[in-house]
A and B are shown apart, each in its own frame.
Chain A
Amino acid sequence: MSIAVAGGGLREEPTFAKSCERLSTPMILNRIVIAAILVSLLWKISYFVLAFSIYFEYPLRDEFFPGWLSSGYVSLGAYSLAVISCLVSLFSASHRTAFYCSLLLAMSLYLQCIHQHSYNDVTFLTCFWSAVWSLWFTSRIGRDDQQTLLEKGAFIAHLILSAVFLGGAMGKLTPGYWSGEVFYNIYFANRDFWVFNLLREQFSDESLLAISCWYTRFVICAEFSCAFLWAMPQRLASWLAILTCCGICLLSNILLLSVLACLMGLAVIGLHQEPEQPIGEPVEIKA
């Protein structure tokens, strides 16, 4: 698409696709993670809109949270700032701008992690850790050579993913989970989702409890496997993380994509491979 410029003539309008063509590989990878964070933040937008309206209408007074961390304005401001930071970062070609956007993003997401309205929503925790990755990554663009940066980037991404999965696995090492009782109460007994609806139609309550038991043990084993992503070959680790995240979404709750989309964005970093030098390329040999 062309636009007229002062003094006559036409100038090519910068588009998102064209700006991507000019970007270095690290900037494109950073954009992928930021886009994944944005998907996470917007996935439950209708839920958040309803939640904010109720938080404003019915404020809650308690002794634990400081007044400003119970304020609807602070919560809404932090959420909006996070979304705006993502959008600016996505459309900026400068790694310096991307760095400041990631800084704002990480700060606003941490604020959500300690706010009365959102402390219990893991969406903000996984997005926060993804933003920490982006903050580190953008701080190194231009300072590390590309190969080193991408290798380090993939390793740190896998470290973060491993820590998230480790958190899930360790907290379930308690009899209530191991027996399947907790997941039975949360999901199998009455959750309206295709898997559980189908199982309820087919099986008795006793069988459902047994299925829940093995479902829970499978989840714990999968989370434990993913806690070692950092020790696996890079591409295998990324594919395993993506597969596990997709599995969790499809087999337990599609709303969990808000928690997992940003993690899948992080996993994608490990899938990138620098193109190898073509065979037959002339090589300069120094005497």
Chain B
Amino acid sequence: MRLVRFLRSIVRTDDLSAAMVLGLILAIAVWLVLLPVNRSIQQATLMRFHLQSPSFLAWCGLQVVPAMYNMENRYWLNEPIRVGDDEISMRCVEAGTTNHFPTRMLTSFDARYRFYRERNQAEVLLESRFQDQVLATRWHVEKGPDNSLVIRRVWGD
């Protein structure tokens, strides 16, 4: 068996770096295998997708875990419209599905370009779902100084 031959050759050649790579991949595999059954891992993955990990360092650690086309990710782009003299309401102008990282609807170059060119401010609702776990976050986007865009999370649960 290849695994046994590999382990024997690691020991025989005293290959610590191969053992480290094996350990890292094994840890990732355990994390992935537990994803469908462990709520904490599901929550951590959903929070990773929404840039809501408890710390930036934790998020950086999770970024090496493969996650191609993971979770059900949706977005709604809402624009403020005036409905009365003093009343402003939000109207959904676009909605869709993304393959992974729904926050790309805020940070990617095409999203930035469209925000900047087409509107002064907007709200974006992002939702990711894995089995019965749901994470929704609402973001406010507005133009800042020097051609910049400012994004701010309004709420998230």
The B109-149 residues at the A interface (CB cut-off 8 A) are 109-110, 112-113, 116, 129-131, 144, 146-149
Chain B residues 31-85 with CB under 8 Å of chain A are 32-33, 35-36, 45, 51, 56, 59-60, 63-72
Contact between B97 and A170 (Cβ–Cβ < 8 Å)? no
Docked-complex contact A171 and B147, CB < 8 angstroms: no
Q: Is the C-beta of B18 less than 8 angstroms from some C-beta in chain A?
A: yes
- Given contacts A128-B64, A136-B21, is CB(A60)–CB(B131) below 8 Å? no
* Beta-carbon contact of A163 and B103 below 8 Å: no
In the bound complex, CA of A175 to CA of B64 (Å): 25
Nearest CB in chain B to that of A253: its residue = B99
Given A63-B152, A140-B15, A152-B6, does the pair A160, B25 have CB atoms closer than 8 Å? yes
Determine whether the beta carbon of B99 is less than 8 Å from that of A186: yes
Q: Are B70 and A171 in contact (CB under 8 A)?
A: yes
Residue of B nearest to A133 (CB): B21
CB distance from B114 to the nearest CB of A (A): 10
Query: CA of A181 to CA of B36 in the docked complex: distance in angstroms?
Result: 19
Among A54, A61, A165, point to the contact of B144 (Cβ < 8 A).
A61
Q: Which of A18-26, A143-151, A272-280 contacts B (4 or more CB under 8 A)?
A: A143-151
Find residues 1-47 in chain B having any chain A CB closer than 8 Å to their own CB. Answer: 1-3, 5-6, 9-10, 12-13, 15, 17-18, 21-22, 25, 28-29, 32-33, 35-36, 45
Provide the residues of chain B in CB contact with A87, threshold 8 Å: none
For the residues of A in contact with B, the DSSP-based class is helix
A222 to chain B, nearest CB (A): 12
Among B3, B104, B147, B151, the residue within 8 A (CB) of A231 is: B3
Q: Please, which residue of chain B has its CB at the minimum distance from the CB of A189?
A: B97
Restricting to A155-209, which residues have a CB under 8 Å from any CB of B? 155-156, 159-160, 162-168, 170-177, 181-182, 185-186
What residues of chain B lie closer than 8 Å to A58, measured between beta carbons?
112-113, 116, 147-149
Question: At the interface, yes or no: B153 with Cβ under 8 Å from chain A?
Answer: yes
Kindly specify which of A34-42, A78-86, A119-127 makes contact with the partner chain. Answer: A119-127
A152 touches B15 (CB 8 A): yes
B129 → chain A closest CB, angstroms? 6
Contacts of A133 in B (CB 8 A): 21
Task: Kindly list chain A residues whose C-beta atoms are within 8 Å of the C-beta of B116.
Answer: 58
Within the complex, what minimum Cβ distance (angstroms) separates B58 from chain A?
12
Known: A113-B63, A120-B108, A168-B66. A174 touches B28 (CB 8 A): no
Distance between B38 CB and nearest chain A CB, rounded to angstroms: 11
B22 adjacent to A159 (CB under 8 Å): yes
Are the C-beta atoms of A125 and B66 separated by less than 8 Å? yes
Q: How many angstroms from the CA of A61 to the CA of B106 in the assembled complex?
A: 11
- B contact residues, total (Cβ < 8 Å): 64
B90 near A: Cβ within 8 Å? no
Count A interface residues, CB 8 Å. 63
Tell me whether A163 and B63 are in contact (CB under 8 A). no
Determine which of A120, A140, A163 lies in contact with B107 in the assembled complex, contact meaning CB atoms within 8 Å. A120
Point out the residue from A57, A160, A259 that lies within 8 Å of B68, measured CB to CB: A259
Residues of chain B whose beta carbon lies under 8 Å from any beta carbon of chain A? 1-3, 5-6, 9-10, 12-13, 15, 17-18, 21-22, 25, 28-29, 32-33, 35-36, 45, 51, 56, 59-60, 63-72, 96-101, 103-104, 106-110, 112-113, 116, 129-131, 144, 146-153
Other A-B pairs, 14, CB within 8 Å; known A63-B153, A174-B130: A54-B110, A54-B113, A60-B149, A60-B150, A66-B56, A110-B63, A120-B108, A122-B66, A168-B69, A174-B129, A177-B69, A182-B72, A186-B97, A230-B3
Chain A residues proximal to chain B, CB less than 8 Å: 50-51, 54-55, 57-66, 110, 113-114, 116-117, 119-120, 122, 125-126, 128-129, 132-133, 136, 139-140, 143-144, 148, 151-152, 155-156, 159-160, 162-168, 170-177, 181-182, 185-186, 230-231, 234, 259
| Pairs across A and B, CB under 8 Å, 21 listed | A60-B107, A61-B148, A62-B51, A110-B63, A113-B64, A117-B109, A120-B107, A139-B17, A140-B18, A143-B13, A148-B9, A152-B18, A155-B2, A166-B32, A167-B28, A167-B32, A175-B131, A185-B96, A186-B99, A231-B2, A259-B68
